[in-house]
Amino acid sequence: MNVLTRDRAHTLQLRLNGQPRRATTEPRQLLSDFLRHELGQTGTHVGCEHGVCGACTVRVDGVAQRSCLMLALQVDGCAVQTIEGLAAETGGSNDSDTLGDLQAAFKRHHALQCGFCSAGILMSADDWLQRVPQPSEAQVREMLSGHLCRCTGYTPIVAAILDVARARAAAQAAKAEHV
Amino acid sequence: MKPAAFDYQRIASADEACAVLAQMGEDARILAGGQSLMAVLNMRLAQPQRLLDISRCAPLQQLRADQGALQVGAAVTQATLEWRPTLAQELPLLQRALPHISHFQVRNRGTVAGSIAHADPSAELPLCLLALRGEVLLKSARASRRVRAEDFFTGMLQTARRADELVEAVRFPLARPGQGFGFEEFSVRHGDFAVCDVAAVADGERLRIAVGGVADRPVARDFPLLQGDALADALNDFAWQLQARDEPQASAALRRQLVRQLGRRAVEQALADRSGRLHPASISAGLPA
């Protein structure tokens, strides 16, 4: 591959929340800034910019990771999912309008106050619950340790995630019985 | 905090990376998972001229058990290892240590070899590599060589890697029958850098204890099988030999106490684990917690 030189705009293509997108970036632009400034996806929040707070967590090819510790160029050809895509992916069919089940549970449990950390936590939980579908409270807390929330004390966040895990397991079981 | 400008090159093979390193030396930096390097760039503690991105380099993503060791390519993430179904049998020490490395979201991208190349004195993976007598595979345009973990870590964030060399892979010797493993860590919050971490490996005759977070690099010592007062005395001597310094986060006295306490627990764990491992049927399979 050729060297992509500094101070020049380079084109990259990606799938953002299922939609093909094409944009340009300098090599040094962080993925977090690229999402917000070039693609207008301001739901991804920027906190500490050194990987500690977790606010900027997005899914790249399904895997939850810090967008402040990635370069925009590194998602060339990848599928990126941000909070804007969460409702479309999982929700739409319940009474909470267009919220996904995780988002609806956060609302129900008052799992956010200012909401700054929520997008990152939701993207982490979205990946993690697919790998650990029936977690214990301790496991949820371990996963959540990668995120800082300064409002809620975490308790309602843990409750919301456990609630979703239970609901998904119940739905799965009901589906299996019908088959 | 934004990085200073650099040129970017996505790397397709180890040879390609080595060719650039031969030409540019320290002006080029390898970008693997970036979970340390990107933070360093964002804070402008480093301003390399060119980043060589190996994260999508397929030949460096290989992970295979051969000749009694698990060889982990430079682009293999910590999460890949953590979720490997056979890890509990292959490397029980890593199974215990991996959950202590930062957080789920960071392990998803951070690499095993990158952590070892970074050589933070408190980091879990350098400590485990040393405890297990692992090796680092270095490659340059001139030659390839293997360096023992014992010789690789040379100081605070310092290693035996030369400026034109790529850490191509690291090798963790697989657990042998009759061996037992222990790992203990103290950090201010879960996932933070360790104030002190200890790994212990025991077999029928010997005990190996490695300590991180106290000296300027992880340090290992070999002992005969020890218990009770003899173990306490050995750990106390070890703690003093590490020449802990007073730092705002932890005093030297606290660090010595942690070596004594965590050391005892890690050794007890390793001895108990050893007897459990003598009966292969009792080894539980499955994913790490």
Q: How far apart are CA B142 and CA B164, in angstroms?
A: 9
Distance, in Å, from the CA atom of A161 to the CA atom of A164, rounded to the nearest integer, reads 5
Is residue B169 within 8 Å of B152, Cβ to Cβ? no
Which residues, 6+ apart, have CB-to-CB distance to B2 below 8 Å? A28, A30, A33, A49, B42
> In this model, does residue B281 exceed pLDDT 50?
no
- Judge: domain B62-173, CATH 3.65.10.10: no
Tokens of B44: 């402008």
Cβ <8 Å between A49 and B83 = no
Q: Would residue B67 be called left, alpha or beta, if left means φ above 0 and alpha means ψ between -120 and 50 degrees?
A: left
* The predicted structure's pLDDT at residue B184: 98
Q: Identify residues of B whose CB sits under 8 angstroms from chain A CBs.
A: 1-12, 34-35, 38-39, 42-43, 50-51, 53, 55-56, 79, 83, 99, 102-106, 108-109, 189-191, 289
Q: Report the complex ipTM.
A: 0.92
Model pLDDT, residue A97: 57
Q: Are B117 and B205 in contact (CB under 8 A)?
A: no
CATH class of this structure's domain B7-53: alpha beta
Q: What is the mean pLDDT of residues A36-65?
A: 97
If DSSP codes are grouped into helix, strand and coil, which group holds residue A29? Answer: coil
pTM: 0.93
The closest alpha carbon to B30, from B2, B9, B45, belongs to B9
Phi-psi bin for B224: left (phi > 0), alpha (psi -120 to 50), beta?
Answer: beta
* pLDDT tens per residue across span B127-164: 999 999 999 999 999 999 999 999 999 999 999 999 99
Which chain B residues are closer than 8 Å to A131 by Cβ?
83
Contact A34, A73 (CB under 8 A): no
pLDDT at A156 > cutoff 90: yes
- Token pair 């609302």 is at which residue? A107
Residue A144: pLDDT above 50?
A: yes
**What is the rounded distance in angstroms from the CA atom of residue B133 to the CA atom of residue B148?**
7
State the pLDDT confidence band at A89, using cuts at 50, 70 and 90.
Answer: low
Spell out the domain ranges in chain B: 7-53, 62-173, 181-277
Q: Is 3.30.390.50 the CATH number for B181-277?
A: yes
Q: How many CB atoms lie within 10 A of CB B27?
A: 15
Whose CA is closest to B275, among B184, B177, B183, B174? B177
Which among B8, B34, B109 has CB closest to A27?
A: B8
Task: Please name the member of B5, B102, B289 whose beta carbon is closest to the beta carbon of A28.
Answer: B5
Task: Indicate if the pLDDT at residue B84 is higher than 90.
Answer: yes
Report all structural domains of chain A as residue ranges with CATH numbers, in order of start.
10-84 (3.10.20.30), 90-178 (1.10.150.120)
Residue type, A101: D
pLDDT confidence band for B288 (50 / 70 / 90): very low
